[in-house]
Amino acid sequence: NAGVTQTPKFRILKIGQSMTLQCAQDMNHNYMYWYRQDPGMGLKLIYYSVGAGITDKGEVPNGYNVSRSTTEDFPLRLELAAPSQTSVYFCASRPWTGGIDEQFFGPGTRLTVL
Amino acid sequence: QKEVEQNSGPLSVPEGAIASLNCTYSDRGSQSFFWYRQYSGKSPELIMSIYSNGDKEDGRFTAQLNKASQYVSLLIRDSQPSDSATYLCAALTNNDMRFGAGTRLTVKP
């Protein structure tokens, strides 16, 4: 299993550009999450999904959009990039077994908006 | 608000000492709690999870949960330089997982 994969690893955007951060998992997990992590800070939840076709907002959803058309993929869309969106973005997935279920993280995408 | 708070540190302990990391959470509906370790430039990795009041031990790590006080802690015994990292506390409320800002731990040889 590849686990959680994210592309690209690095990206530089100009103000006002748009892009999609890709996230995929091959573990058949129901739950998927997008976080951003600013330097020296913890993880802030942007959006999450409990299954295909179902998404919900987290703490900091403004400026982002998501979709979940399949169990495997959970892309994050940035429209009209702003310098405040410079951050490291982590995607994570979690199974649902009824117990304490660990989140598995992808390697992250480092985004700079200039 | 579903807030998770941690002392940002930095926390410095000598090798072989016990490191104590603390976390509080605001949502009484939170069901499960997690400690993640994050090395610089890397993604978080799970150290411990706990959902019942009391202590849970795994090797050199002990997680403690007190739901009445809304308090979670992590003890690292016999700290090693390789334990130097940022430790993130997380609380799961239904399907919503929230993280604290993290505590940076340095273990000095």
Between chain A and chain B, how many beta carbons pairs sit less than 8 Å apart?
A: 53
Q: Which are the contacts of B79, defined by CB distance < 8 A and separation ≥ 6?
A: B13, B14, B15, B16, B17, B18, B19, B105, B107
State yes or no: pLDDT of A41 exceeds 90: no
- Residue A40: pLDDT band (50, 70, 90) is confident
Backbone angles phi, psi at B86, to 5 degrees: -100, 135
Could you say which DSSP state residue A73 is in?
A: B
Q: How far apart are CA B101 and CA B87, in angstroms?
A: 9
Instruction: Quote the tokens at residue A40.
Output: 């020296």
Residues from chain B contacting residue A56 (CB–CB below 8 Å): 95-96
Asked if the peptide bond before residue B10 counts as cis, ω within 30 degrees of 0, the response is yes
Give A84-106 pLDDT, tens digit per residue.
999 999 999 998 776 667 889 99
CB contact at 8 A, B76 and B84 = no
Residue B59 zone, left/alpha/beta (φ > 0; ψ -120 to 50; rest): left
User: Which residues in chain B are closer than 8 Å to A50, comparing Cβ atoms?
Assistant: 95
Is residue B31 within 8 Å of residue B88, measured between CB atoms?
no
> Which chain B positions have a beta carbon within 8 Å of A35's beta carbon?
99
User: pLDDT by residue (tens digit) across A49-96?
Assistant: 999 999 999 989 999 999 999 999 999 999 899 999 999 999 999 987
* Residue B95 to residue A90, Cβ atoms within 8 A: no
pLDDT means per 10 residues, chain B with 109 residues, are: 82 96 94 94 92 94 96 97 96 87 94
**Residue B67 near chain A (CB below 8 Å):** no
